[in-house]
Structure 1
């Protein structure tokens, strides 16, 4: 399992967090219990199985629901 942090464009409403969390959790290989969106920092952090997915796939899922991803880091 790897941990990823995605930097998002500034979040403007709490309901944005729910949409972003749902998008990240929908990607096979993401540990849905670890998905956390920080409203104050405009970041989403999660753990994923790198044999099943990658951070870029999750970023694309989030962008599909209308939230630009500005940066990605994986540890």
Structure 2
């Protein structure tokens, strides 16, 4: 498993937060219980199985929802 922190361009509303959270949770290999979108800091935190999904897949999912990823940090757990 790996843990990701993804910095986004500024979030503008709580519905954006919910949309991103649901999008990331829908990816196979993401620990759905771990997904948190932090509105005030515009960050997404999630744990994922790197044998099923990559950080690039998660970033692309967020991008397809219309939100810009500024940077990602991944740690092995």
What is the TM-score with the length of structure 1 in the denominator? 0.97
The 5 A counterparts of 1:6-21 are: 6-21=6-21
Structure 1 residue ranges, 4+ long, deviating more than 4 angstroms after superposition: none
* Aligned residues: CA RMSD: 0.5
User: How many residue pairs end up in the alignment?
Assistant: 75
The 5 A counterparts of 1:29-48 are: 29-48=29-48
Query: Which residue of 2 is the match for residue 66 of structure 1?
Result: 66
